[in-house]
Amino acid sequence: MTFLASIPSPHSGTIDLGPFTIHMYGLMLLLAIAACVALTGYRWVKWGGDWDLVFRVAVWGVAAGIVGARAYHDLTSWSEVPNKWWGPFAVWQGGLGVWGGILFGALAGAWIVRRSRQSVRLFMDAVAPGLLLAQGIGRWGNWFNQELYGKPTNLPWGLKIDPQHRGQFFTHDTFHPTFLYEFIYDTIGVAILLWIDSRFRIKRPALFALYVSYYTFGRFFEELLRVDPAHEYFGLRLNAYVSIVLFVLSTSFFIWWQFIRKPTGQERPRASKIVPTGPAMAVPKGRVRPGR
């Protein structure tokens, strides 16, 4: 018995609710952010911290991350930027570079954590699984936009793409669903990172380095499948080279930090509650508390 199977694509990336239009790409980003905050908050509170810091890091980190992600896309894929004054800012049409998003978001988050006198290294490990989960969920936005798919394929799980989104591959109907590959890969990676962190004494922030290594390893092979416009050098896409460099750097750091570096006794810091500073509330002069 032969089963005909394929993955359909939404014909529109938006949903109209009366006068309002919901962009599914943006909605997927919101779900990704919520998942990251929830997982990070659970881990941080479990380690002795509080939710207030997680929320503040999320606000500043997300804002900076979106700016960095769009800036990376504009700089490395300028040919895909709409030729309008609002083109460089059109995040609702897709086009967010994960490298710029993680870099800017991590820098902003580290600044908030440091100002709160908490361990930046510890928070990096707290957020690492959440970031990977967010990246996987966010890829569903590409499905709604029918973008960033892979090479043509006749596999049963091939992704159907509408003719207007096929570009040079207009004679093909189904393509590798790279969004789904990354979602599955990232979800498995979240489970692996959580297991490693619970099973071994990770020296902070080695788990964050491991997250970078894991993601870039899979991203390299994803780049070999993708057919969206990209700058190529010696047969490899630009992001494939970025993946190689980051994989080498993060893996080297992980090995050195976790196994070679001489212990200092500060490898396993703990989080703490943030105690508000300032004068305590007092009863105004001349007032008497009830019951006295």
pLDDT for 284 equals: 56
Read off the pLDDT of residues 55-96 as tens digits, 9 standing for 90 and up. Answer: 999 999 999 998 998 888 888 776 676 667 566 777 666 567
Is residue 190 pLDDT above 70, yes or no?
yes
**Tokens coding 65:** 């991350």
**Tokens coding 175:** 């393509």
pLDDT for 234 equals: 95
114 pLDDT band, cuts 50/70/90, is: very high
- Percent of the chain at pLDDT exceeding 70: 87
- Beta strands 174-175 and 159-160 are antiparallel
CA–CA dist 78, 241 (Å, integer): 18
Is residue 117 pLDDT above 90, yes or no?
yes
pLDDT for 31 equals: 97
The residue whose two tokens read 């900076």 is: 64
204: nearest Cα among 251, 255, 257: 257
**Tokens coding 236:** 């490899």
Class of residue 190 by CB neighbours under 10 A (exposed 0-12, middle 13-18, buried 19+): buried
Q: How far is CA 39 from CA 13, 47, 91, 142, 189, in A?
A: 27, 13, 25, 23, 14
Mean of pLDDT values over 139-161: 94
pLDDT for 91 equals: 66
Q: Rounded to a whole number, what is the distance in angstroms from the first to the last CA of the chain?
A: 86
pTM: 0.88
pLDDT for 13 equals: 87
Read off the pLDDT of residues 124-144 as tens digits, 9 standing for 90 and up. Answer: 999 999 999 999 999 999 999
Q: What per-residue string of b and e applies to 147-172 under the rule 16 or more CB within 10 Å gives b?
A: bbbbebbeeeebbebeeeebeeeeee
* Cβ–Cβ < 8 Å for 89, 70: yes
pLDDT for 76 equals: 76
Read off the pLDDT of residues 15-62 as tens digits, 9 standing for 90 and up. Answer: 888 888 888 988 999 999 999 999 999 999 999 999 999 999 999 999
Is residue 256 pLDDT above 60, yes or no?
yes
pLDDT for 115 equals: 95
292 pLDDT band, cuts 50/70/90, is: very low
The residue whose two tokens read 């979602």 is: 183
Phi, psi angle pair for 213, to nearest 5°: -65, -45
Three-class DSSP category at 46: helix
pLDDT for 128 equals: 98
Is residue 278 pLDDT above 60, yes or no?
no
Three-class DSSP category at 160: strand
275 pLDDT band, cuts 50/70/90, is: low
**Tokens coding 216:** 């870039």
